[in-house]
Structure 1
Amino acid sequence: MKIAFLVTDVPTEVDEYTTTRLARAAAAAGHEVWYLGVTDVEVGAGEGYLMGRARAAHLEDRDTLESFMERIKEQEPQRVVLDGLDALFIRNESVDDLQDRPWAAPLAPVFGQMLKARGVTVVNDPMSLIRATSKLYLEEFPEQVRPRSLVTRDPAAIEQFVREVGHSVVKPLYGAKGRNVFMVEDENEANLAQMTEAVLADGYAVVQEFVDGEEEGDARIFVLEGRILERDGRYAAFRRVPTGNDPRANISVGGRSVPLEVGETERAIVAAMADKLVADGMFLVGIDVIGDKVVEINAESPGGMQSVERLYDVDVGPVVIDALEARTGSR
């Protein structure tokens, strides 16, 4: 299988993260692996092909994740015909581009759709990914698996929602890594106007009812082709716990990961979401769960496999690559 990982920017890739682990698993399985950023694509060059200035990802016997990624970054980019790929794995963070490179933010699904039309297997499905990169995607799933919520740019509507619902969370429609996420106790929150202003500066706001147990963190569950990702009886799922006085559990803002015992509640949530995730071409997603509610779906570049490996001493990357290989028909 010839596979490329489309990332935000190759020089800024972090060796410890999930994308590196997936690329390592693909290279270890003997596949031809390439990395390219969203700014490395050319359209119309070479007889109308999509071309990519890509870097080869070669895995050596003694490689660590650090040495593997360092070698990728040291590679001179080569011109690769992207039409000739078996699979393209979209793993960029468009939210990171919204601030400094807004023109780059929408490009990954655009290029992905062009390659899909040319017969390349693209995951996650690029057209669905356009919807799934916003928190609005959660509203398409059954009511029983999601908290009551409101998407708006009207500060008065936010105040009314908090007045009716009480304890709530306010966050940007497009956002990640815990940026501008605020807890609101009730309508008497003194800083509600300032919180709302900060969130609306990023576009639309999402207001969700507070789910019991939220102060204790959330569960990140990887879902592969509609089922909880697992290997050797170990589920790719863990709990993210906030530290200190910060209520956010995101690892990027200091949260820590602890083991999660997957039970009937988690299985029922995934079962209720499975058909739609599969129909939408959501090959690999990370869902964030509190109690019996999904508070977020991470479809663009779900992370956390490093926590799975650290907590359970299992690498689930090969399972993902095996499923992708089966999907492309490369076997």
Structure 2
Amino acid sequence: MKICFVLNDVHEENYNSSVVLMHNAHQRGHTVLMMDVGDFNFTHNEPLSIHVLQVPKSIKTKSAKKFIEDIKKANLKKKKMSSKNVDVLFIRNNPTEEVDRQWAEHAGIAFGKMMQQEGVLVLNDAYALSHAYIDKLYFEELPSSIKPDSIITRKKEEILEFFEKQNKKMVLKPLEGSGGKDVYLIDENEKNLNQIIETLLNQGYVIAQEFLPDVSKGDVRILLMNGRLMERNGKHSMIRRKMGKGEFRSNFSQGATAQAVELTKDFEKIIEVVAPKLIQDGLFFVGLDVVKDKLIEINVLSPGGLNYFSEIDHPDFGNEIIDAIERKLNYKEMYGHELSNKVLATME
């Protein structure tokens, strides 16, 4: 198959989950294409065209980290091709990283919809991504039984009222953002509360969320495919993110370290509750962030973590994901237009 990965910037790509997936696809003999979110071209009455880097078959390495290094060393040139020549478009660009390029935030999803209409298998389903674009808002569509108390508002008085109800301890964060940026733990000793609230409100909507004491042990990133936990040789697609000293955020980008974690009844319940919605909505590959028995965030746009599994002696699960994509293409070939992209996206 020809599988194309939409990235923020192919020349800035480093070892991450997207690279793990590209490496696995390449090792299995598939044609791997890489493109920037700005590499789509539209001409009226013609299929979309895209500018892509094609990973040469001559690049052979067992290490995903060296794989991306070798791609950069190869000094590849982009070539123009029709979207009709692509079997799969995997939308992996992260809009929250586009601080200075507002035009790029929605482009991957918007053009992904068009390629989907042209018959290309798009993952995650582009219409599902559009619906869940503000993933912290999509999170609020999930049942309250598995979530901490929270409010989303642009009213300072609402935040302060929530603070009082939570016994003067809460987490504040922007509605749109990722990587733990601008996330604050607020308690009764916080002297800059008004300033912090004003700073966040200047960015847009704010989430005030119940503080969970168990966050001191770190959170657990659970990666789901087709709404299911991946497993190989008794090891599951879960990893604990233990925060650094003096830090309450568990993001790897904020210095968290990886630890192995056992599957618990609480985790199983959260997956059981979340899975039906993910499957219904066409969200193929999703990350859940969990603290004990509560889901604190859901990541649908560009979930990561695969590149950290080697640190805890786990498989990276890239083969399982590429396996699933191959099956989806087989179903698409057998059934044609009888199966929508949304159905195919989460079909086992």
TM-based fold match above 0.5: yes
Find the aligned partners of 2:164 and 2:210 in 1 and give their Cα distance.
11
- Kept in 2: contact 1:180–1:198 (CA 8 A): no
Question: Following the alignment from structure 2 to structure 1, what is the Cα–Cα distance between the partners of residues 69 and 60?
Answer: 15
Distance 2:216 2:193 in 1: 19
The aligned counterpart of 1:314 is: 315
What residue is the counterpart of 2:218 in the other structure?
Answer: 217
* Matched-pair contact (CA < 8 Å) for 1:109–1:130: yes
1:232 offset after TM fit, Å?
A: 2.5
Counterpart of 1:297 in structure 2 is 298
Say yes or no: does 1:49 pair with 2:47: yes
- Corresponding position of 1:102: 102
Deviation of residue 65 (structure 1)? 2.8
- TM-score for the superposition, normalised by structure 2: 0.90
TM-score, normalised relative to structure 1: 0.94
| Gap regions ≥5 residues in structure 1 | none
Count residues in correspondence.
Answer: 327
Bigger shift: 124-133 or 16-25? 124-133
Task: After TM superposition, give the deviation of residue 90 of structure 1 in Å.
Answer: 0.6
State the secondary structure of the residue aligned to 2:272.
helix
Match of 2:340 in 1: none
Question: For residue 164 of structure 2, what is the amino acid of its counterpart?
Answer: R
Q: 8 Å contact 1:285–1:297 — kept in the other structure?
A: yes
The range that moved more, 305-314 or 2-11, is: 305-314
Secondary structure at the aligned position of 1:100 is classed as coil
**C-alpha separation between the residues in 2 aligned to 1:321 and 1:107?**
25
Does the aligned pair in 1 maintain the 2:235–2:314 contact within 8 Å? no
- Measured after TM superposition, the shift of residue 71 of structure 1 is 4.0
- 1:145 and 1:183 map into 2 onto residues whose CA distance is 21
1:63 to partner: Cα distance: 5.3
SS in 1 for 2:213: coil
Unaligned runs of 5+ in 2: 334-348
- Residue matched to 1:232: 233
Give the aligned partner of residue 30 of structure 1.
29
Supply the distance in 2 between the matched residues of 1:320 and 1:63 (Cα, whole angstroms): 17
SS of equivalent to 1:171: strand
Distance across 2 between alignment mates of 1:70 and 1:78:
20
Identity across matched positions, percent: 34
For residues 217-253 of structure 1, the C-alpha deviation after alignment (integer angstroms, 9 at most, x for no partner) is 1000000101112223210111111111121111101
Matches of 2:91 and 2:153 in 1, distance apart? 29
- Written as runs of structure 1 = structure 2, the 5 A alignment for 1:55-70 is 55-58=53-56, 60-62=59-61, 64-70=63-69
Which amino acid is the alignment partner of residue 130 of structure 1? S
Q: Is the 8 A contact 2:258 2:311 kept in 1?
A: no
